[in-house]
Amino acid sequence: MIKKVAKNILALLGLKVTFIDKRQVSEANRLKWLRDLNIRTVIDIGANKGNATLGFKELFPEAEIYAFEPLPECFAIAQAKLRKFSDVHLFNIALSDQKGSTNIHRSSYSGASSLLPMAQIHKDLFPVTAGERLVPISTDTLDNVLDSETFKSPILMKLDVQGFEDKVIAGGESVLRQVKIIIVETSFKELYVGQPLFGDIYKLLTDRGFSYIGAWDPDFRSPEDGASVQQDAVFIR
């Protein structure tokens, strides 16, 4: 039963575990280090359809969760999925370094949508994401939106915004100072025009007192040559 619950939680977070050797960490223990942090607040930036948010709620039943998703149709799905939790707060807005309005590049695969244009290499490697239309959205900063909130610590932040990570960080300095652990999607290739790469995010976060402790799960690799393309990197302090 424990193995089944752990597997379901990992699936909700978009993860898949493949066991190769009994010397590896067991399925039941894979997230023990994270549970042991006793996270009391989760900030999920780039919630999409709410699967990761729901996974965090399973991991941390007592945590207050603030989830952000700019795409209206994905927000509606997340809302329906999470409506039973009174301590999950959803915001239909894109986080940035300024308040305003803009267009998001809505990919044919919703999870690949970004405030930045998709680079050709992304379309070539993952053609299922290549379709695009512009959708008008509102933007604001993390500090503006959560200015009046009093958080319980420790705080976990998940940051998955398809190349807009540096802008979210710039607009959330006050909140970020309270965060214990960040799980952030980083790229080794420029999948979106002008995006920061792993090294840029590493410097931004280590300059703010975080330490890199490794990958959340195996790197996402190119289907053409197996080279690392993206990594969900974990930083902690």
pTM of structure? 0.88
Give the whole-angstrom CA distance, residue 107 versus residue 129. Answer: 6
- Give domain status of residue 52, yes or no: no
Domain count, the chain: 1
Tell whether 24 is covered by a domain.
no
Query: Where does 83-196 show beta strands of DSSP type E?
Result: 88-91, 94-95, 100-107, 132-140, 155-159, 181-187
Does residue 21 sit within a domain?
Answer: no
Which residues make Cβ contacts (< 8 Å) with residue 73, sequence separation at least 6? Answer: 110
User: Collapsing DSSP states into helix, strand and coil, what is residue 39?
Assistant: coil
- Flag whether 134 is in a domain: yes
pLDDT of 163 > 70? The answer is yes
Q: How far is CA 4 from CA 29, 132, 208, 209, in A?
A: 12, 38, 38, 36
Q: What confidence score (pLDDT) does residue 28 get? A: 66
Mean pLDDT, residues 175-197:
97
- pLDDT digit string (tens) for 87-98? 999 999 999 999
- Selection from 89, 99, 42, 40 nearest residue 69 by Cα: 89
Neighbours of 200 (CB within 10 A): 14
Tens of pLDDT, residue by residue over 121-146, are 999 999 999 999 999 999 999 999 99
Placement of tokens 């200015």 in the chain: 147
What domain range includes position 200? Answer: 30-47+95-236
In-domain check, residue 206: yes
pLDDT of residue 29: 83
Domain-embedded: residue 114: yes
Give the tens place of pLDDT for each residue, 5-40. Answer: 445 555 555 555 444 454 566 766 888 999 999 999
10 within some domain: no
* Residue 150 counted as domain residue: yes
**What is the residue-averaged pLDDT of the chain?**
91
